[in-house]
């Protein structure tokens, strides 16, 4: 099967690399010639590094590179079996691309979006054969991150979903099936990791360096929320938060932060701009955390309780199974444990008690305990 990729940015190029390494001829389309040139150069450099590290042979690198065709016209994609769109996270832009593809490719060609949070049903609105539209959400960097969320809309042919899932599995990826709801599994469940950390910082519970230290050293996360959002880029992370919040009809659980909004407004996007929560300019002093174990444990307990609550809600609403929710969070964002398994270890009654305390103190619906958590505690069971 030949594959089409729309968008020659980092994500599109990463997806093309994965497919090409798996033996597919891949057509990467972009409207910008310089983007195509950069992508081709980047792919060559990545493959050369893999050869240097003895991960692949020189022959494999050459064959992979030759399978990727960078094109500035959609017409070469006419006969592909699967197209994955990986452009800007903007609904109208994605809809425009899908309508162009709908007029070009065969009725049996699968049209997929790499969106991280937008509605698959909306992206595929107006497509002549909506049963062939789905989400195939890779995580950045696509060649390194194992997880892929497969997201059917209400119209998608589930037999086709299983065929595509098997294909992506053959690319040595770990797939989970997610319902077409805002943020799917990972970007829904992960919101409190960022938002609750920012809220604690704003309230003066602890500074950013201390919260990051606590989540790494006590919580076991690879990165703290502030350093991680600086790495992701606030122009990306904030937009996902805002999108999920808006699509959930402004549910307080997903409310964005004014502090992060100000970073975006000031174009302080994080590492890529030289400054975000932290200053990355040459010679800038790195802030020192307060290594207080009691404070650090409180920070971890509060954020983990919020993650568990969101995972429980995703389970309640059938966004994924318990196993797939935990798998998504460990493979998609490198959590040390799946939040539902973690909750069972802590004790669901303990987690519920922490949420009830926060809800009573703040009177804010962001802390309302999930009904499934309450029911499971009442039944004396685990997730």
The catalytic residue positions are 116, 137, 149, 187
Contact 14, 142 (CB under 8 A): yes
Residue 344 CA to residue 338 CA, distance in Å, equals: 10
Distance from the Cα of residue 172 to its chain's centroid: 18
Contact 248, 182 (CB under 8 A): yes
Q: Determine phi and psi for 4, rounding to 5 degrees.
A: -110, 140
Distance from the Cα of residue 164 to its chain's centroid: 19
Residue 131 CA to residue 246 CA, distance in Å, equals: 26
In which residue are the tokens 């769109």 written? 85
- The DSSP 8-state label assigned to residue 346 in this structure reads H
Residue 180 CA to residue 112 CA, distance in Å, equals: 13
Residue 198 CA to residue 258 CA, distance in Å, equals: 10
Contact 104, 77 (CB under 8 A): yes
Paired with 113 in beta bridges are 85, 135
Residue 68 CA to residue 85 CA, distance in Å, equals: 16
198: three-class secondary structure by DSSP: helix
């Amino acid at each position: 099967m030949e594959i089409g990729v729309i968008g020659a940015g980092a994500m599109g190029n990463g997806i093309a690399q994965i497919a090409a390494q798996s033996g597919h001829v891949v057509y990467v389309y972009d409207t910008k010639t310089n983007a195509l040139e950069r992508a081709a150069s980047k792919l060559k450099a990545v493959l050369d590094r893999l050869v240097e590290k003895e991960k692949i042979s020189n022959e494999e690198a050459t064959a992979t590179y030759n399978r990727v065709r960078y094109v500035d016209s959609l017409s070469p994609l006419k006969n592909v079996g699967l197209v994955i769109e990986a452009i800007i996270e903007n609904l109208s832009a994605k809809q425009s691309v899908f309508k162009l593809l709908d007029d070009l490719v065969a009725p049996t060609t699968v049209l997929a979006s790499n969106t991280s949070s937008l509605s698959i049903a909306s992206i595929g609105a107006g497509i002549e054969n909506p049963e062939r539209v789905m989400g195939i959400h890779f995580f950045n960097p696509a060649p390194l991150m194992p997880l892929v969320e497969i997201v059917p809309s209400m119209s998608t042919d589930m037999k086709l979903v299983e065929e595509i899932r098997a294909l992506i599995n053959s690319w040595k990826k770990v797939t989970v099936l997610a319902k077409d709801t805002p943020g799917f599994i990972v970007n829904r469940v992960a919101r409190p990791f960022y938002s609750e950390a920012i809220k604690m910082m704003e309230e003066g519970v602890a500074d950013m360096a201390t919260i990051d230290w606590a989540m790494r050293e006590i919580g076991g996360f690879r990165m703290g929320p502030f350093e991680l959002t600086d790495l992701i880029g606030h122009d990306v992370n904030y937009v996902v938060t805002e999108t999920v919040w808006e699509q959930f009809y402004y549910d307080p659980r997903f409310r964005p932060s004014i502090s992060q909004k100000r970073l975006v407004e000031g174009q302080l996007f994080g590492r890529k701009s030289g400054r975000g929560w932290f200053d990355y300019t040459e010679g800038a002093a790195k802030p020192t955390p307060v290594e207080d174990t009691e404070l650090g444990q409180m920070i971890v307990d509060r954020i983990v309780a919020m993650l568990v609550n969101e995972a429980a809600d995703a389970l309640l609403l059938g966004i994924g199974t318990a196993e797939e929710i935990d798998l998504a969070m460990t493979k998609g964002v490198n959590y040390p444990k799946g939040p539902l398994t973690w909750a069972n270890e802590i004790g669901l009654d303990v987690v519920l008690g922490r949420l009830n305390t926060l809800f009573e103190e703040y009177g804010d619906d962001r802390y309302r305990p999930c009904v499934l958590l309450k029911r499971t505690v009442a039944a004396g069971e685990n997730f």
